[in-house]
Structure 1
Amino acid sequence: MGRLSFVMAVVLMASAVSLVTSRYQARQLFIELDRSQSQMHQLDNAWRQLQLDRAELARNARVDRTARDVLKMISISPDRTIYLSQPPAAGQVGGGQ
């Protein structure tokens, strides 16, 4: 009877250690999941901000202002526009031979 009690005590202790270990691992996984979800939300917010920044930078008014201020470009006007026409190269008339 004493041997059976000893075996049962060892099994009970092993079960208790296993339970504590599995709960600890579950807690660690939950903490990691929470951190990952928090990072996901931060990255999602950063992505949305980047999309807004890109849309702002691509607006026509901003592109026009940058062209005028930084690149010193001016708007086209018909009196300053020169149209060039070039005769087609030899062999390209008629679509081929």
Structure 2
Amino acid sequence: MTRLNIVLFAALVLSGLYLVRVSYEARHLFVEVERAQVEERALETQFEQLQIERRAQATPLRVEKVAREKLQMRTATPAVTHYATYAGAASAPEAAASGAQGERP
């Protein structure tokens, strides 16, 4: 009977130690989950701020201002517009018109 008591006592001590270890790991994991959730909220806030900043940077007025200042762009007016002509383009409408008239009876 004494041996059985010693074996049961050892099992009780080992299970108690295992229970303490598992509780410690559970608390440690819970703290890690809380930290991850705090970091997630911080990243979501930062992402929302970046989205707002991106929308503010992409407004048409800002894009036009940057195009004028940094890229030296200007609005197109007839005074600065250059038209390219194609030599074959002048004969193409005439050929199409004569071809269209030739098909009629």
Please state which band the TM-score falls in when normalised by the shorter chain: 0.7 to 0.9
Percent of aligned pairs sharing the same letter:
35
1:10 maps onto 2:4 in alignment: no
User: Which residue of the partner structure matches residue 62 of structure 2?
Assistant: 62
CA RMSD of aligned residues (A): 1.5
With the length of structure 2 as denominator, give the TM-score of the two structures: 0.75
User: Which residue of the partner structure matches residue 50 of structure 1?
Assistant: 50
Q: Give the aligned length.
A: 88
Structure 2 residues without counterparts, runs of 5 or longer: 90-105
**Equivalent residues in 2 for 1:1-97, closer than 5 Å:** 1-86=1-86, 87=88
Q: 2: distance between equivalents of 1:78 and 1:60? A: 23
Q: 1: distance between equivalents of 2:21 and 2:73? A: 70
With the length of structure 1 as denominator, give the TM-score of the two structures: 0.80
Computing the radius of gyration from Cα coordinates, the structure with the larger value is 2
Structure 1 residues without counterparts, runs of 5 or longer: 89-97
After superposing the two structures, state which structure 1 stretch, 45-54 or 23-32, moved more: 45-54
After superposing the two structures, state which structure 1 stretch, 21-30 or 52-61, moved more: 52-61
Q: 1: distance between equivalents of 2:4 and 2:59? A: 82
